[in-house]
Structure 1
């Protein structure tokens, strides 16, 4: 029998999805080992296991310490969809952010489709946050968290699909109690991934149900109750007031001017939080002349460096 090419139904680098349900991750950014001390930033990193069943791993980053017994804010970070916590561009981005903001960062390697469909990633995110919070008031555990972590300043962040995960974890934190009574202080949602059955703001009406964000959701969570209007991807499907339950004190939403897919959603989400009656402080930053995930894909540009400084300022104050 002759060979034949399988039909591609969705391609979102680095993932290609075929009609028969299989998928492959195309080589894009190389995986890199941890760095005992990055020569450019002085940031150290190491790999840890949060859970063995299911397997949840992470890479933890520690900035160069300026004084003994220093206590630092903690940032739990979720990378974008179809990516990894262990790639070269993730490493560069976290090294730069950790150095600038002077925080301990834990970047989570959560389970992804098609091997593990949603809600697996949401569960992994919550498990990781619980694990971090469990180190408050401990004398044993992950030494960097025990010795240097300031659990009064536990923050959460994510990019793109990772920002969607971060949002859903913040919502859960408004209902469920974290270990040791730890609370999320600040959250940063960068170029957040949300969608719905109806376009918002200036989104194109034509072929809205065939747009990449819709296809991504159908691929990642094919059994989602409510489909694309599931509250995990459409956070105001049950009314804007549902955002009153956000479980953090301060929220920063960032969008990119040239992000044709998700710029409008980020602004829509920011407006929705403002209208919800939530008691926290919410801020919006738009970076002009750049596209989706510019700060990760092009970490050496002036735009990326300035953006990281703005994130650091938010996390420090």
Structure 2
């Protein structure tokens, strides 16, 4: 006799009820958000079937494109829903991703995998991996989707999701780490929003895995700390979002702490939202805390890869600051942008500052709108001449090209033939400064200059803003850009391991700046403490800005904290 449709086999309220005849009642059915194909809309969207035989599909989101040849980063999003609910087409996820795409100016690809329990639990992972492979098949511009072919930059790829989707995204990045990916593909970051990494006595996991022996913590996908592949995870940065009242917080923090101590050599950061529960941002998307979560995610994406808008030199009538570009090494395309403040008298001599931009040695420019705006302000307020160095970028030009190019600019300036420098630069008052990787370069220039007698008397000090230095273990970015060095004992990357070298710095002042939520904060403090104990005789200071992240002052230059 056939089972009655009302006879319950598995009751997993509030997720689903499975009846003995095989039918399923999902207690939170997904709705379908409409697509937009208006080229004038802030974000366009479309659905594409990835595998017709399984029905796996993706929803692709494209921001407004102004340049037909424009290439922009890609963010892959895997939705949550306890492995058994939700859809890439639902209005909740559609609205969230559209907001991120518009703010970050990225392409987003939202994965629509087959759901449990009518499909085996493993299917959610396998479908997402298959969708990932379909997405990266466009890296050579010959995939089946024109949006990805024409506009996706797969050297700047991010993966993440929320809840169960965050767990699946983590598995994708782990699997990618042991897969021979095309050299054009670089996974820069993993973001995990209120991720599921197991809870004690997880009845849902047991219901979705009725034939599996052991609990959720014995599954390396749910508990990746037991996965031997974890150390090879294919991204260099991970951002965790947790909520104070989320029942999944404990599992997320256990993984966060374990990942910090693991052999994986990436950077890791966590943001906790006080007073909120699991995926609160979906239930109250217009709240201030929801906006903070979205903005933090966008900052994570954009700080790692900023859309670089180059601007020409200009004269500011309000401040009187002038700027111009100078080519230093034509054969290597090494140049600089010079900034001159308003001069009050004809032959006035003022200090000279060499500034080196950040960007992980591989992105950004002295001519970007962000740095141009920042250095215009600094020139006016500090009343200094600034030489902003535009060095060759990696990986096209591996380390030490950035150091050699910057050193060449210092030597060019020391000749004193450039008119602005010849007339107005006080070569007895020379400073070096930079942020992130640029701070690393500035430090290494100071080390080299300390060994060159013609520079010693003129170099007064340096300012290192959110500096990028080693912390005693290999670093994936450094190893990739400097393949002959793991960085641990390399004085360029890890100066704290060379205290005697620090003691020989010839400048009289060093200022280290860092931010409370900067993933490089500990490295900045280690450099500061090591220099303080090295025997160096100069004036040393450190300034930390609470509640802010890496180089925040560049992204919000008018804020009070940035001014500080």
TM-score band by shorter chain is: 0.7 to 0.9
Distance 1:313 1:227 in 2: 36
Q: 2:11 aligns with which of 4, 9, 15?
A: 9
Taking the TM superposition and a 5 Å limit, the aligned residue runs for 1:191-206 are 191-195=194-198
What residue is the counterpart of 1:310 in the other structure? 296
What residue is the counterpart of 1:202 in the other structure? none
What residue is the counterpart of 1:251 in the other structure? 238
Q: 1:117 aligns with which of 94, 115, 120?
A: 120
TM-score with structure 2 setting the length: 0.49
Residues 144 and 290 of structure 1: CA distance in aligned 2, closer, same or farther (over 3 Å):
same
The answer (yes or no) to whether the contact 1:10–1:18 under 8 Å persists in 2 is: no
Q: 1:217 aligns with which of 170, 188, 205?
A: 205
> What 5-or-longer segments of structure 2 have no aligned partner?
304-564
Indicate whether 1:272 and 2:258 are aligned. Answer: yes
Runs of 4+ in 1 over 4 A off after TM superposition: 18-22
What residue is the counterpart of 1:170 in the other structure? 173
Distance 1:188 1:181 in 2: 21
Distance 2:39 2:254 in 1: 38
Aligned residues, how many?
296
TM-score with structure 1 setting the length: 0.86
SS at match of 1:132: helix
Taking the TM superposition and a 5 Å limit, the aligned residue runs for 1:44-193 are 44-81=44-81, 82-139=85-142, 141-179=144-182, 182-193=185-196
What residue is the counterpart of 2:24 in the other structure? 23
Q: Give CA deviations for 1:102-136 in whole Å, capped at 9, x if unaligned.
A: 11001011011122112111111111111111101
1:28 Cα deviation after fit: 4.4
Cα RMSD (Å): 2.4
Between Structure 1 and Structure 2, whose CA radius of gyration is higher? Answer: 2
1:258 Cα deviation after fit: 1.5
Distance 1:67 1:138 in 2: 17
Distance 1:178 1:224 in 2: 31
What residue is the counterpart of 1:230 in the other structure? 219
SS at match of 2:291: helix
Q: Give CA deviations for 1:135-165 in whole Å, capped at 9, x if unaligned.
A: 0122453111111111110110111000110
1:287 Cα deviation after fit: 1.2
The answer (yes or no) to whether the contact 1:11–1:17 under 8 Å persists in 2 is: no
Residues 22 and 234 of structure 1: CA distance in aligned 2, closer, same or farther (over 3 Å):
farther
The answer (yes or no) to whether the contact 1:194–1:265 under 8 Å persists in 2 is: yes
Residues 180 and 49 of structure 1: CA distance in aligned 2, closer, same or farther (over 3 Å):
farther
The answer (yes or no) to whether the contact 1:101–1:311 under 8 Å persists in 2 is: no
The answer (yes or no) to whether the contact 1:98–1:105 under 8 Å persists in 2 is: yes
Greater RCO, 1 or 2 (C-alpha within 8 Å, sep 6+) = 1
Residues 94 and 309 of structure 1: CA distance in aligned 2, closer, same or farther (over 3 Å):
same
What residue is the counterpart of 1:205 in the other structure? none
Distance 1:179 1:223 in 2: 37
